[in-house]
A and B are shown apart, each in its own frame.
Chain A
Amino acid sequence: MVTPVEAAVESLRQISTEPPVWLVPKQELSQAVRAASKLLFASLKPHCTKSPFDELLIEGFDAEQIWQQIDLQSQPLLSSLRREVKKFEKHPEEISKLKVDVEGGKKKVLEEIETENVVVNDDDDEDDDIDMDEEDEDEEEEGEEKEKGREEESENEGEEKGGIEDKFLKIKELQEYLEEDEAREFGTNKKKRKAETKKHEEDTEDEEEEGDDEENEDDTDEAEEEEEDELGLFGGDDESDEDDLGNARYEDFFSRKKSKDSEDKAKYRDMLEEDSGSDDEHVDKKRKDGLSKHEKELDELRSKIEQMEKANLDPKVWTMRGEVTAAQRQKNSALEVDLDFEHNVRPAPVITEEVTASLEDLIKTRISEGLFDDVQKAPTLSSKAPREVKELDDNKSKKGLAEIYEEEFVQKTDPASAPLTFSDELKKEASMLFKKLCLKLDALSHFHFTPKPVVEDMSIQTNVPALAMEEIAPMAVSDAAMLAPEEVFSGKGDIKEEAEMTKADRKKRRANKKRKFKAKAAKRPRANTSVRNSDEGSKV
């Protein structure tokens, strides 16, 4: 019983893969390819529930229409597959349930896919040729055909595996190792995704980028693949089921065991997840027994590296995170950590014996010296002047009472013409005597003595209001003030207001001021020792 998938694959095989064949568009070639694609479509049909077509309609349709039919079938299929993938993402244990059923069939699939990939990496030249073909023919046809062509090639080359392998490189061992390694590292969905994207890679390379992908495949093409992830999802699933792997099942591709590319490994380092499951350990144990010492060491190293990388990728511990508030760390987690602060205050002094002894020494020295910092009683400043003790004169007053009153009255009304009282006379005499004495002393003591000019004793005119000066009897008659206005006026010359001054006047005023100042400055040097400097300063 030939399953539809097998039939499809067989038909693909029949298509010639000689590159020259593809250079020229041939009717029979296109017919063969269309037939093959119809079979593939039919094989996919059971998985797809919503497709409107029962079979791929080929006759009379051009490439675009055929492509759209395939698209119609694959779109809902893709979404359902995506749902499945997500489901497995959340519940990885279900995959292992699935896995058990199809162990046998899958293994073959595994091997073939792996060989395919290994071979694919080497087949740069052939793929370049194939890429060139794209420019000539229909895109869709070419896409499918190239894919199949490559698969065929790889299958053909599968037999020649022996050429690649030798006593050092055992593909099988390599596969096993990769499998084990990836089983350790990656989670289930990554395996799924990897499977998908690997397929997508091959498709999308054909359709979009020419030739570069081959090289990129060898390197880490993380970004590319993630971009292509979406696109790849469309085309890939189609082909993956139409693989030459006869018993291809859903579980084959969405199980952990089916880890493929080494470059995928690099890509998936970003999406690390804990591995669980006994299968891993089972696999690991098997591996460890057969490893040499060096390989064991390498394994250890690798595991250490993985651990450290993992630690680096995890979010940091809160103690390493810089400013952390209480909300961002666990409750009471600060109690477990030994926190160290830099204190900016001097700590309180610990009172030791030495400190006490030093203090007591200080006190003793102070006592023996008698140096205390007591409060001193401030010297009382006598704020009041010494009270004048007035001596009471016992003698009878020579003036009568009426005369005393008369003198007082006169003093009040006419201060200038009041006759000098007795005490004033005495005082005046005393001051005259003293002045004479001072004059004589100055003459004796000063080197440069200039006697004061003798002033004629003139009667002093006081500028008192006229009312005070006039005679008592005629009150109404007002005398002019004793001093004339010119004598009261203390200015000089023609007084002008600020506004009235002309420019010349202003200049004159300023010149006068400067002259005065210079005169004063010239006088000053007598007190100020540095004459030159002050003059020069003023000049500058």
Chain B
Amino acid sequence: MLRRNIRLRREYLYRKSLEGKERLLYEKKRKIKEALLEGKPIPTELRNEEAALRQEIDLEDDYTAIPKTHIDDEYANATIRDPKILLTTSRDPSAPLVQFVKELKFVFPNAERMNRGGQVISEIIESCRAHEFTDVILVHEHRGIPDGLIISHLPFGPTAYFGLLNVVTRHDIKDKKAMGTMPEAYPHLILDNFKTKLGERTANILKHLFPVPKPDTKRIVAFANRSDYISFRHHIYEKPGGPKSVELKEIGPRFELRLYQVKLGTMEQSEAQIEWVIRPYMNTTKKRSFIGNDHESDDKRKKIKA
């Protein structure tokens, strides 16, 4: 197990180191392709290597043309196997936090909840790797109100740090009878307005927490991004009067997620490279949207469609 880990880690690092060279090659090939397409002369710095590169270009197909980053490797196996999630809290959780985590356990299919006790993070992650978990989710709180969510993908994968806002749990809603029990079928996913590169990355991270659903499930989990705040909604739908009518019934907790950091290692690797971190004191932060596109509205899209 240990040796396998070492080997995997070394492969990962090696491929990460190759990335730079591959990227260069890819850039050169791209430039040649462009020059050929537009009928312009090939840039002078590529003259020597042009013939060899041209051969390679001819041999490429769609799959090999795009340079693979190690980031993609993180989710390479995700589609093959179903995700397995471990849910825990920070130390000494309060009762509302424990309830919230219990709810989350039903939200994510194939999730396990574990009492935190006095375990150290590195221990938790080691044991998760040993038991073939794919993700670890940690929930933090402030005086009973959940306020932090850390999603860590396991083999070496990225860690996303979210802040939780406007949390409404199922336990808050007094009318238990009306809510009913929570279905446990694999849900359909809706990810809206994840347009930028960082947005795609976040969408990826959130997407791979869920397994491949059956096409006819009635359960919907929606992550909608509005000005860098991702709203989480959990519904069940029915089509009472034919295919066009849809009736939604909200179940499950509802909260807003605010991404503040993405790291390129697991939670325990404190020295891992930071892929993105929020910059709240930058002067132009207010005007920029990092995850999605705030200015395009759906109406515009509909108009264009029509």
Contact status B222-A537, CB under 8 Å: no
Q: By the criterion of a CB under 8 Å from any partner CB, how many residues of chain A are at the interface? A: 30
B296 within 8 Å of A (CB atoms):
no
- What's the nearest-Cβ distance from chain A to residue B184, in Å? 17
A11 within 8 Å of B (CB atoms):
no
- What's the nearest-Cβ distance from chain A to residue B55, in Å? 12
Contact status B189-A374, CB under 8 Å: yes
Closest to A373 in B: B191
Q: Chain A residues with Cβ under 8 A from B78's Cβ?
A: 375
> Is chain B's interface secondary structure helix, strand, loop, or mixed overall?
mixed
Q: What are the interface flags for B220-247 relative to A under an 8 Å C-beta threshold, 1 for contact and 0 otherwise?
A: 1010101111010101010000011010
Contact status B212-A368, CB under 8 Å: no
B181 within 8 Å of A (CB atoms):
no
Contact status B79-A364, CB under 8 Å: no
Q: What are the interface flags for B23-41 relative to A under an 8 Å C-beta threshold, 1 for contact and 0 otherwise?
A: 0000000000000100111
Q: Chain A residues with Cβ under 8 A from B36's Cβ?
A: 528
Contact status A372-B190, CB under 8 Å: yes
Contact status A368-B231, CB under 8 Å: no
Q: What are the interface flags for B65-95 relative to A under an 8 Å C-beta threshold, 1 for contact and 0 otherwise?
A: 0000000000000111000000000000000
Closest to B193 in A: A362
- What's the nearest-Cβ distance from chain B to residue A135, in Å? 72
- What's the nearest-Cβ distance from chain B to residue A34, in Å? 83
A359/B231 contact (C-beta < 8 A), A344-B283, A375-B79 known:
yes
Contact status A364-B246, CB under 8 Å: yes
Closest to A363 in B: B222
Contact status A346-B222, CB under 8 Å: no
A349 within 8 Å of B (CB atoms):
yes
User: Which B residues between 33 and 65 are near A, CB-CB below 8 angstroms?
Assistant: 36, 39-42, 44
A288 within 8 Å of B (CB atoms):
no
Contact status B298-A362, CB under 8 Å: yes
Contact status A375-B208, CB under 8 Å: yes
Contact status A533-B41, CB under 8 Å: yes
Contact status A367-B246, CB under 8 Å: yes
Q: Chain B residues with Cβ under 8 A from A349's Cβ?
A: 166, 226-227, 229, 231, 256
Q: Chain A residues with Cβ under 8 A from B79's Cβ?
A: 375-378
Contact status A378-B280, CB under 8 Å: no
Contact status A375-B212, CB under 8 Å: yes
Could you tell me the distance between the alpha carbons of A359 and B79 in the complex, rounded to whole angstroms? 28
Q: Chain A residues with Cβ under 8 A from B212's Cβ?
A: 374-377
Contact status B246-A344, CB under 8 Å: no
Q: By the criterion of a CB under 8 Å from any partner CB, how many residues of chain B are at the interface? A: 48
A30 within 8 Å of B (CB atoms):
no
Interface centre among A345, A346, A355, A360 (most CB of B within 10 A): A346
Q: Chain A residues with Cβ under 8 A from B281's Cβ?
A: 344
B207 within 8 Å of A (CB atoms):
yes
User: Which A residues between 485 and 505 are near B, CB-CB below 8 angstroms?
Assistant: none
- What's the nearest-Cβ distance from chain B to residue A526, in Å? 13
Q: What are the interface flags for B129-151 relative to A under an 8 Å C-beta threshold, 1 for contact and 0 otherwise?
A: 00000000000000000000000
- What's the nearest-Cβ distance from chain A to residue B56, in Å? 15
Q: Chain B residues with Cβ under 8 A from A366's Cβ?
A: 190, 192
- What's the nearest-Cβ distance from chain A to residue B281, in Å? 6
Could you tell me the distance between the alpha carbons of A529 and B165 in the complex, rounded to whole angstroms? 60
Contact status B189-A363, CB under 8 Å: no
A348 within 8 Å of B (CB atoms):
yes
Q: Chain A residues with Cβ under 8 A from B189's Cβ?
A: 372-375
Contact status A372-B188, CB under 8 Å: yes
User: Which A residues between 338 and 395 are near B, CB-CB below 8 angstroms?
Assistant: 344-346, 348-351, 355, 359-360, 362-364, 366-368, 372-378, 380
Contact status B222-A359, CB under 8 Å: yes
Closest to B36 in A: A528
- What's the nearest-Cβ distance from chain A to residue B245, in Å? 8
Contact status A346-B228, CB under 8 Å: yes
B303 within 8 Å of A (CB atoms):
no
Q: Chain B residues with Cβ under 8 A from A247's Cβ?
A: none
A534 within 8 Å of B (CB atoms):
yes
Contact status B190-A362, CB under 8 Å: yes
Q: Chain A residues with Cβ under 8 A from B40's Cβ?
A: 530, 533
B213 within 8 Å of A (CB atoms):
yes
- What's the nearest-Cβ distance from chain B to residue A376, in Å? 7
B210 within 8 Å of A (CB atoms):
yes
- What's the nearest-Cβ distance from chain A to residue B86, in Å? 19
- What's the nearest-Cβ distance from chain A to residue B32, in Å? 11
Contact status A362-B188, CB under 8 Å: no
B282 within 8 Å of A (CB atoms):
yes
Q: Chain A residues with Cβ under 8 A from B224's Cβ?
A: 359, 362
- What's the nearest-Cβ distance from chain A to residue B58, in Å? 11
Q: Chain B residues with Cβ under 8 A from A533's Cβ?
A: 40-41
Q: Chain A residues with Cβ under 8 A from B298's Cβ?
A: 362
B286 within 8 Å of A (CB atoms):
yes
- What's the nearest-Cβ distance from chain A to residue B35, in Å? 9
Closest to A348 in B: B165
Could you tell me the distance between the alpha carbons of A366 and B244 in the complex, rounded to whole angstroms? 11
B211 within 8 Å of A (CB atoms):
yes
Closest to B283 in A: A344
Could you tell me the distance between the alpha carbons of A534 and B35 in the complex, rounded to whole angstroms? 12
Could you tell me the distance between the alpha carbons of A26 and B207 in the complex, rounded to whole angstroms? 119
Closest to B209 in A: A375
Contact status A530-B41, CB under 8 Å: yes
Could you tell me the distance between the alpha carbons of A363 and B191 in the complex, rounded to whole angstroms? 10
Q: Chain A residues with Cβ under 8 A from B244's Cβ?
A: 368
Q: Chain A residues with Cβ under 8 A from B191's Cβ?
A: 373
Q: Chain A residues with Cβ under 8 A from B188's Cβ?
A: 367, 372, 374
Contact status A348-B222, CB under 8 Å: no
Could you tell me the distance between the alpha carbons of A350 and B298 in the complex, rounded to whole angstroms? 20
Contact status B237-A367, CB under 8 Å: yes
Closest to B213 in A: A374
User: Which B residues between 97 and 121 are near A, CB-CB below 8 angstroms?
Assistant: none
- What's the nearest-Cβ distance from chain B to residue A173, in Å? 65
- What's the nearest-Cβ distance from chain B to residue A345, in Å? 5
B285 within 8 Å of A (CB atoms):
yes
- What's the nearest-Cβ distance from chain B to residue A382, in Å? 13
Contact status A363-B190, CB under 8 Å: yes
B128 within 8 Å of A (CB atoms):
no
- What's the nearest-Cβ distance from chain A to residue B102, in Å? 23
Tell which of A351, A363, A373 touches B248, judged by Cβ atoms closer than 8 Å.
Answer: A363
Closest to B41 in A: A533
Contact status B233-A363, CB under 8 Å: yes
B203 within 8 Å of A (CB atoms):
yes
Interface centre among B44, B207, B222 (most CB of A within 10 A): B222
Contact status B227-A346, CB under 8 Å: yes
- What's the nearest-Cβ distance from chain A to residue B154, in Å? 16
Tell which of A350, A374, A375, A537 touches B44, judged by Cβ atoms closer than 8 Å.
Answer: A537
Could you tell me the distance between the alpha carbons of A374 and B213 in the complex, rounded to whole angstroms? 7
Q: Chain B residues with Cβ under 8 A from A351's Cβ?
A: 166, 231, 254, 256
Task: Tell me the B residues contacting A by CB distance below 8 Å.
Answer: 36, 39-42, 44, 78-80, 165-166, 188-192, 203, 207-208, 210-213, 220, 222, 224, 226-229, 231, 233, 235, 237, 243-244, 246, 248, 254, 256, 258, 280-283, 285-286, 298
Q: Give 5 CB contacts A-B under 8 Å.
A: A346-B227, A346-B228, A348-B258, A362-B224, A537-B41
Given contacts A351-B231, A366-B190, 12 further A-B contacts (CB under 8 A): A348-B165, A351-B256, A355-B231, A359-B233, A363-B233, A364-B246, A368-B243, A368-B244, A372-B188, A373-B189, A374-B207, A377-B79
**What are the nearest 7 A-B pairs in CB distance?**
A378-B79, A373-B191, A372-B188, A364-B246, A345-B280, A348-B165, A533-B41
